[in-house]
Amino acid sequence: MPSSLPLSRRRLLAATAASFALGALPAGFMSARAQSLIQRPVKIVVPFSPGTGMDSLARIVGQQLQQRSGQPAVVENRVGASGNIGSQVVATSAPDGYTLMVTANTFVMTPPLYKNVPYDVVKDFAPIGQMALGQMVLAIHPSVKAANLKEFIAQAKAQPGKIDYASPGNGTPQHLAMESFKLAAGININHIPYKGSGGAVQDLLGGTVGAMIMPVHTALPFLADKRIRVLGLTGAERSSMAPQIATLAEQGVSGFEVDLWYGMYAPAKTPPEMVKHLNTELNQILADPAVRETIQKQGMVVRTGTPEALAQLTAKDLARWTKVIEDAKIQPE
């Protein structure tokens, strides 16, 4: 694959090729098709652009769902308003199980940032199940004279407002994760929002900004080249991709743990038997070793569960990020 292609385009092509490479139907797929409640084409809405983690997941899972049911599963990217446009499409669709959404925890972060969100993330959606976890790290440019997390916090406290940090935009998980970290660490650093990850990462590498929270698989090549310094993982556990990197909690900043999580939803009032069937299909697809390996190559770790567990996670994180936004005094748009 030509390296001159944009990163998002390369990731999309890789995910699509990988999903087709899963190819041959494993034993039991024909029986699953015979028992499937899915009797016509399924639309999977992704409220963000092609090449994102949720888009990769939707295409991988959609391909397998199509093989299992014998019905087309089409991924549709409905971009805009930090995911609100695509989410509204699903919220107002017929609750029959044939319109689904694959999204990330941005889903529960953006509503408190907008004054007139036309849906309720708890009342207007039927959770199907969690799909994957994307771990993140706190990275700094080498020009920031801090060898470790403790020194970074000390420098930020000694020079409040002097360090800039980048994010892919207002309301993104990277933005709110850093705001949550600032509150936990008691520091003041400046937010510089970008329109997407590409420019934010490039400016971190160039030293235009001093810090950024980014996916671990994005950071590792730059860490190997010593273009950035990684201070720790933002989540609750270490990463199998880089087990030598300690979490921020292990280093004394607790009550802050943040990962990217991905899940599948349907419109509210989708029949319970269809929700249960879709959850079973999703969990069986994600249990396949070839699928798990493909997802891991996209920088994510499979995480599955019940619709009830995703409903609890949705409500808990909505309350959490609403409080972070209020405490950080981030104004709704």
Beta-sheet pairing, 73-77 with 42-46: parallel
Q: Which residue is listed with tokens 């391909």? A: 63
Q: What pLDDT digit, counting tens, does each position of 46-66 carry? A: 999 898 899 999 999 999 999
Q: Can you tell me whether residue 265 is helix, strand or coil?
A: strand
The chain-wide mean pLDDT, for the chain, equals: 90
Distances (CA, A) of 310 to 66, 130, 155, 264, 274: 23, 6, 39, 9, 16
Q: Which residues of the chain have pLDDT under 70?
A: 1-35
What's the distance, CA 171 to chain centroid? 13
Measured N-to-C along each axis, helices 289-297 and 53-69 cross at an angle, to the nearest 10 degrees, of 160
Q: Residue 250: its pLDDT value, please?
A: 97
Q: Residue 15: its pLDDT value, please?
A: 53
Q: What pLDDT digit, counting tens, does each position of 153-191 carry? A: 999 999 999 999 999 988 889 999 999 999 999 999 999
Q: Residue 21: its pLDDT value, please?
A: 47
Q: Looking at 78-234, which runs of residues are DSSP E strands? A: 99-104, 125-134, 136-140, 164-167, 190-193, 211-215, 229-233
Q: Choose among 240, 219, 251: nearest CA to 153.
A: 251
Q: Which amino acid is at 160?
A: P
